[in-house]
């Protein structure tokens, strides 16, 4: 077991920059161990996956639309008739839409791609750490990522975060490869990967860019002039990979494409820089349903708080300690030292992304922190492996011992926030932390039984809490727009895999703050209407009504809010117009446009009770549409759902 964390492959600083020293062959135990890790990860991420149904019906409906219409596929439309897009770029929908086209619409066809991305990400993390420190540390890093609760959540969910994390993790690996040999090909690959990550979640993908660029500028094995030139080339690749879709959308006349959801001006540029961009930092998001108070307190303690800590922060203190310890360990290594470059690559990712998440005043959800998980895992793997190799010296042993005891104490705090969940586990972890800490101080002794015991106990300390939370996450169905991992934490807002609160809305003139723009703010249970954050399940009678003569209409129905529309669309299999987009606050369609659609016989039913939220800066058009429909058409109620037949002559 003393060879679990293999020595790193050291590059000769004088060697040719194009010919790094070949890595030694892995021990025989490595390959079966890697297969076991990836298989266990796949089992965790695929277990009873269909229990979550559509998970986030907002994206599931868009995947359905993309499987029915290539135009909807390209733009990321919410419906196959292309009324409006989702409020994100479409890269993740391309993956799900292709899966639905191949295998038909089901929970499995929507969610399995996310799980496979998770397994792939664990594999990339292993490769990134193995290349620097060795396979044992790579396996540790992979296990850390696989058992991070928020990773177990989001790799079983159909939000864009799974693809974002896979692409950025692969970009981090490619950067280390590029830095080793000053390879333009690998650096261009970094730019392309980040560019496509932008098409998954826009500006969040760019948070890694400053750190990545600085690492290559400092550590690549070539002249400063060449380094700058390579970075410019990678920048061009990034802009091309990210910008081609944006350019197409902006150049196509608005009458020829769907409305850009999440914007107030039908512009993808507004979406990039506003709702999905700088507005997330400042809180000034046009069309958002919440003020800064609705997204929790900001500051350095945010990631360690009740709502966030149990999602991703189990090994966050350890990652920071091992980052510092690792940098001290490499000391005065050459500028091009691969280990230091790797530590700076993933450390920069963690620090910049963590700082933004801590301080952003706009929309913020706990599951966003999955973007921190690969960096935490890699830093634990590289830092832990590097110090373990140097355990013959006192300082590395002290750092490892302090890190282990700190992790045990922090895990005790996190587990104490869920006192009814495995109440004995916190004490086991705490005691194991003390034992492992003492054992690490003696790890310089070459006694196999001691080393085996120390490593096993340290693994229990580091992985016991998060693995238990990850397992609980995997056996719990998760649906809606704001999922959370693990059991409910005392004093938190997140409950059992779904959101337990609706963001507060600041008071504005002409509106009632915090109330939906419909006459029914809380749909009746089982009505199929859904709500702002999740879709409903329509009854068989309502579904049959929507399917009747569906081919005669462009949209079988219209209702306020994307989640409300998604439930009816997924059940009926036909396009449903989401008035106002996700929040019901986009000016699409306007009342005049909707009246024309009705006059042209394109919309069959209007479904009342769809939920959107009033905002301080969004549009009232969806509310105006409902008011007009209620004033001019007769209603009928089917299984608790109020519908208006727009194919009949108006009553007034």
Three-class secondary structure assignment of 98-117: HHHHHHCCCHHHHHHHHHHH
- The pLDDT assigned to 329 comes to 94
What number is the average pLDDT over the span 559-575? Answer: 96
> pLDDT higher for 529 or 519?
529
| pLDDT band at 520; cut points 50, 70, 90 | very low
Q: Which of 558, 561, 610, 559 is nearest to 581 (CA)?
A: 561
Least confidently predicted of 123-132, 142-151, 298-307? 298-307
Q: What predicted TM-score, i.e. pTM, was given to this entire model? A: 0.90
Q: How many residues does the chain have?
A: 652
- Flag the least confident range among 218-227, 510-519, 542-551: 510-519
Cβ(399)–Cβ(443) below 8 Å: no
Q: What is the pLDDT of residue 612?
A: 56
Q: Is 604 helix (H, G, I), strand (E, B) or coil?
A: strand
How deeply is 482 buried, as exposed, middle or buried, from its count of CB atoms within 10 A (0-12, 13-18, 19+)?
buried
> Distance (Å, rounded) from C-alpha 496 to C-alpha 634?
40
Assign 529 a pLDDT band (cuts: 50, 70, 90): confident
Give the DSSP letter of residue 514.
T
Cα dihedral value 454, 417, 478, 583, nearest 10: -130
Q: Over pLDDT 70: what percentage of the chain?
A: 87
- Output the CA–CA distances (angstroms, integers) from residue 162 to 58, 147, 268, 517, in the order listed: 16, 15, 22, 32
- Give yes or no for a contact between 265 and 250, defined as CB atoms under 8 angstroms apart: no
Average pLDDT across the chain, whole number: 88
User: Mean per-residue pLDDT for 321-334?
Assistant: 94
Give the rounded percent of residues in the chain with a pLDDT score beyond 90.
78
Least confident of 131-135, 296-300, 598-602, 643-647: 296-300
Query: Predicted confidence band at 288 (pLDDT cuts at 50, 70, 90)?
Result: low
Q: Tell me whether residue 351 is exposed, middle or buried, using C-beta atoms within 10 angstroms of its C-beta: 0 to 12, 13 to 18, 19 or more.
A: middle
Q: How far is CA 285 from CA 162, 183, 265, 280, 346, in A?
A: 24, 40, 13, 7, 30
**Residues 6 or more apart from 551 whose CB is under 8 A from it?**
none
- The domain spans of the chain are 30-389, 540-645
Name the nearest CA neighbour of 435 among 411, 461, 414, 466. Answer: 461
Tokens read off for 391: 């355990």
Tokens of residue 248, six digits:
């197409």
SS3 (DSSP) at 435: helix
Q: 649 vs 267, 598, 645, CA distance in Å?
A: 35, 10, 9
pLDDT of residue 464: 96
Nearest CA to 496 out of 421, 608, 568 is that of 421
Residue 644's φ and ψ, nearest 5 degrees, are: -120, 125
Residues 556, 575 contacting (CB under 8 angstroms): yes
| Residue whose token pair is 């510092």 | 324
Residue-wise pLDDT for 7-29, tens only, equals 343 333 333 333 334 346 889 99
The predicted model gives 350-358 an average pLDDT of 96
Q: How far apart are CA 3 and CA 5, in angstroms?
A: 5
pLDDT in tens, 247-275: 999 999 999 999 999 999 999 999 988 87
Q: Is 547 helix (H, G, I), strand (E, B) or coil?
A: helix
pLDDT at 610 over 90: no
Q: How confident is the model at residue 216 (pLDDT cuts 50, 70, 90)?
A: very high
Q: How far apart, in whole angstroms, are the C-alpha atoms of residue 604 and residue 608?
A: 13
Cis preceding-peptide flag for 134 (omega within 30 of 0):
no
Query: Which has the minimum average pLDDT: 52-61, 200-209, 506-515, 603-612?
Result: 506-515
Q: What's the CA angle centered on 481, arms 480 and 485, to 5 degrees?
A: 75
Is the separation of the CB atoms in 307 and 296 below 8 Å?
A: yes
Cα separation, 339 vs 633, in Å, equals 70
* More confidently predicted of 33 and 534: 33
Given pLDDT bands bounded at 50, 70 and 90, which one contains residue 617? low
Q: Decide: 387 and 325 in contact? Cβ < 8 Å.
A: yes
Scanning 331-417, the segments in alpha helix (DSSP H) are 338-359, 373-389, 394-416
Label residues 396-426 b or e (16+ Cβ within 10 Å = b): bbebbbbbbbbbbebbbebbebbeebbeebb
pLDDT digits (tens, 9 = 90+) for 576-607: 999 999 989 899 999 999 999 999 999 999 99
Q: What average pLDDT score do residues 540-547 get?
A: 96
State the pairing for strand pair 641-645/635-638: antiparallel
> Residue 140 corresponds to which tokens in the numbers above?
């540790």
| Residue 616: φ, ψ to 5° | -75, -15
Neighbour tally for 328: CB within 10 Å = 12
pLDDT category at 479 given cuts 50, 70, 90 is very high
Q: Is the pLDDT of residue 563 over 80?
A: yes
Position 642 pLDDT exceeds 70: yes
How far is it, in rounded angstroms, from Cα 72 to Cα 77?
5
Cβ atoms of residues 478 and 498 within 8 Å = yes
| Residue 610 token pair | 């769809």
pLDDT of residue 620: 87
Mean pLDDT of 282-302: 67
Lowest mean pLDDT among 50-54, 128-132, 233-237, 443-447: 443-447
If 0-12 CB within 10 Å is exposed, 13-18 middle and 19+ buried, where does residue 22 land?
exposed
For the ranges 103-107, 229-233, 502-506, the lowest mean pLDDT is seen at 502-506
């Amino acid at each position: 077991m003393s060879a679990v964390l293999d020595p790193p492959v050291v590059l000769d600083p004088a060697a040719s920059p194009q010919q790094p020293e070949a890595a030694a062959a892995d021990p025989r135990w490595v390959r079966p161990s890697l297969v076991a890790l990836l298989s266990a990860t796949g089992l965790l991420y695929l277990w009873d996956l269909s229990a979550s149904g559509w998970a986030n019906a907002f994206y599931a409906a868009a995947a359905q639309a993309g499987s029915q219409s290539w135009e909807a596929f390209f733009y990321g439309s919410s419906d196959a008739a292309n009324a409006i897009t989702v409020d994100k770029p479409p890269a993740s929908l391309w993956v799900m839409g292709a899966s639905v086209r191949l295998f038909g619409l089901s929970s499995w066809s929507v969610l399995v791609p996310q799980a496979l991305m998770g397994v792939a990400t664990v594999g990339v993390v292993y490769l990134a750490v193995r290349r620097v420190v060795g396979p044992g540390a790579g396996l540790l890093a992979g296990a850390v990522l696989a058992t991070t609760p928020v990773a177990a959540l989001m790799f079983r969910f159909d939000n864009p975060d799974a693809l974002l994390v896979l692409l950025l993790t692969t970009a981090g690996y490619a950067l280390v490869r590029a830095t080793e040999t000053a390879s333009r090909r690998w650096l261009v690959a970094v730019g392309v990967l980040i560019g496509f990550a932008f098409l998954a979640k826009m500006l969040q993908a760019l948070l890694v860019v400053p750190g990545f660029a600085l690492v290559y500028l400092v550590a690549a094995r070539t002249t400063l002039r060449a380094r700058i030139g390579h970075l410019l080339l990678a920048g061009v690749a990034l802009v091309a990979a990210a910008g081609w879709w944006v350019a197409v959308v902006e150049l196509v006349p608005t009458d020829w494409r769907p409305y850009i959801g999440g914007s107030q001006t039908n512009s993808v540029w507004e979406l990039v820089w506003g709702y999905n961009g700088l507005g997330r930092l400042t809180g000034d998001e046009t069309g958002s349903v919440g003020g800064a108070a609705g997204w929790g307190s900001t500051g350095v303690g945010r990631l360690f708080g009740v709502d966030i800590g149990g999602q991703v922060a189990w090994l966050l203190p350890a990652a920071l300690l091992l980052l510092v310890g690792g940098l001290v360990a490499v000391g005065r290594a050459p500028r091009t030292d691969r280990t230091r470059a790797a530590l700076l690559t993933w450390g920069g990712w963690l620090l910049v992304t963590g700082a933004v998440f801590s301080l952003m005043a706009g929309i913020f959800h706990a599951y966003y922190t999955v973007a921190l998980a690969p960096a935490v895992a890699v830093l634990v793997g590289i830092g832990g492996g590097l110090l373990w190799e140097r355990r013959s010296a006192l300082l590395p042993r002290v750092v490892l011992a302090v890190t282990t005891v700190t992790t045990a104490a922090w895990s005790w705090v996190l587990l104490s926030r869920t006192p009814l969940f495995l109440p004995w586990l916190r004490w086991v972890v705490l005691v194991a932390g003390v034992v492992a800490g003492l054992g690490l101080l003696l790890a310089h002794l070459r006694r196999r039984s001691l080393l085996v015991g120390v490593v096993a106990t340290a693994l229990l300390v580091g992985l016991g809490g998060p693995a238990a939370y990850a397992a609980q996450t995997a056996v719990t169905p998760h649906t809606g727009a704001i999922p959370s991992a693990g059991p409910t934490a005392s004093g938190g807002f997140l409950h059992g895999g779904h959101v337990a609160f609706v963001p507060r809305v600041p008071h504005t003139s002409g509106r009632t703050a915090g109330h939906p723009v419909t006459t029914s703010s809380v749909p009746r249970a089982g009505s199929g209407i859904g709500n702002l954050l999740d879709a409903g399940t329509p009854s068989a009678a309502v579904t049959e009504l929507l399917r009747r003569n569906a081919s005669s209409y462009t949209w079988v129905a219209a209702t306020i809010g994307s989640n409300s529309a998604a439930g009816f669309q997924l059940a009926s299999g036909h396009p449903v117009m989401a008035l106002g987009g996700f929040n019901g606050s986009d000016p699409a369609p306007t009342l005049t446009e909707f009246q024309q659609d009705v006059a042209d016989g394109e919309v069959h039913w209007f479904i009342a009770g769809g939920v959107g939220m009033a905002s301080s800066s969004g549009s009232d058009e969806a509310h105006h549409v409902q008011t007009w429909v209620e004033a001019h058409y007769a209603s009928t109620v089917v299984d608790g759902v109020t519908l208006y037949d727009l194919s009949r002559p108006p009553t007034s």
